A and B are shown apart, each in its own frame.
Chain A
């Protein structure tokens, strides 16, 4: 079995994926706090992680819990809204559509947002996503596919309520 690597390699290998997940789940503004708390907590616990464990799934689990902590802490204090309530300006502006997708993900209900992040961005199977979100793997899969469907509708200029009505 492969011996445990220096944590530096864990940061290099998984840092970008965890940042993507944090951006999707927390929004651009809190993503870096989520990332920092995830890796600091992971570093402390790393010697106890069993050799051969799935490091990426372990990190996503920690990121999931840290994101919940951050959202709860924010709910307790009156802070300005995270996501700008201004609608993305739609297609046609110069750029790569970066902001649009980030904003669109921010409009998803939490479960869909998490399912999309953990399954599509971090590559976790729906069985593991269900382990994080609670519920069955099928429910996790539905949240993921509904989330993607909703994203497409938002990006095409539709409204979220329309998508929700459409979801069986």
Chain B
């Protein structure tokens, strides 16, 4: 028998290796995520959840929730930014986000008025951070104006900066920037879109 060593022949010979069942990779992936979390090598775990305001990306460090992102923010781009700003040790791993998914479910069902999740504010600094730390004090179903928030954070003239802090809130819904509206009562802009803000305020008013 004559043996030819063309690469094409070899790939035909080795073709049976090509078939890797998707189930095998899935199983190995889950095993990796579990081992990584156990050995503190999983810096950021993420998953998505469906919600009345679209699919939400949830990401958490070992310290707590670090990011909630709307669909329109492009989840792949958000994960890439997390890789660059915090750590690229990121895996899809629903386990760490199970409490967050459950609390969000309860919130959208109208039965939860306050989130009890550990938060990681690594993505926020300075004045923006103090604005975000104030927001959970606005009660469910209530709103404050940008000016009121500026006053509450001790910088009454920083109304515009409050707007920026809300617009760049890395933890929307959980840190309720949707409860901050314009002084004339109009909604003001929202990272998830005006419709999403309207929906959240309507949910809380019900």
Among the stretches A13-21, A58-66, A70-78, A132-140, the one at the interface with B is A13-21
Supposing A43-B41, A47-B89, A120-B10 touch, asked if A3 and B32 sit within 8 A by C-beta, the answer is: no
Among the stretches B77-85, B103-111, B155-163, the one at the interface with A is B77-85
Least distance between B188 CB and chain A CB atoms (Å): 32
CB of A23 within 8 A of chain B? yes
Contacts of A102 in B (CB 8 A): 16-17
CB of A101 within 8 A of chain B? yes
A155-B24 Cα distance, complex, nearest whole Å: 26
Are B80 and A3 within 8 A (Cβ)?
Answer: yes
Contact-residue bracket for chain B: 35 or more
CB of A108 within 8 A of chain B? no
Contacts of B28 in A (CB 8 A): 15, 19, 32, 35-36, 39
CB of B54 within 8 A of chain A? no
Are B20 and A151 within 8 A (Cβ)?
Answer: no
CB of A24 within 8 A of chain B? yes
Of B17, B24, B84, most buried by chain A (CB within 10 Å of CB) is B17
Which of B10, B18, B35, B84 is within 8 Å of A3, CB to CB? B84
Contacts of A145 in B (CB 8 A): 5
* Contact digits for B8-43, partner A, Cβ 8 Å, 1 yes 0 no: 001101101111100011001101100110010110
Which of A11, A149, A152 is within 8 Å of B32, CB to CB? A11
Contacts of B3 in A (CB 8 A): 149, 152
Number of A-B contacts (CB under 8 A): 101
Are A19 and B16 within 8 A (Cβ)?
Answer: no
Contacts of A4 in B (CB 8 A): 83-84, 88
A8-B5 Cα distance, complex, nearest whole Å: 37
Chain A contributes a number of interface residues (CB within 8 A of B) equal to 38
CB of A148 within 8 A of chain B? yes
Least distance between B76 CB and chain A CB atoms (Å): 9
Are A6 and B79 within 8 A (Cβ)?
Answer: yes
Least distance between A117 CB and chain B CB atoms (Å): 9
Which of B5, B16, B90 is within 8 Å of A7, CB to CB? B90
CB of B1 within 8 A of chain A? yes
Contacts of A97 in B (CB 8 A): 16
Are A16 and B90 within 8 A (Cβ)?
Answer: no
Of A11, A96, A149, A156, most buried by chain B (CB within 10 Å of CB) is A11
Contacts of A156 in B (CB 8 A): 1
CB of B165 within 8 A of chain A? no
Are B5 and A148 within 8 A (Cβ)?
Answer: yes
A16-B35 Cα distance, complex, nearest whole Å: 19
CB of A87 within 8 A of chain B? no
Least distance between A87 CB and chain B CB atoms (Å): 17
Of A7, A36, A101, A149, most buried by chain B (CB within 10 Å of CB) is A7
- A24-50 residues with Cβ-Cβ distance < 8 A to B are 24, 32, 35-36, 39-40, 43-44, 46-47
CB of A124 within 8 A of chain B? no
Closest 10 CB pairs of A and B: A6-B90, A16-B20, A101-B16, A98-B16, A6-B83, A4-B88, A20-B17, A6-B79, A15-B25, A44-B41
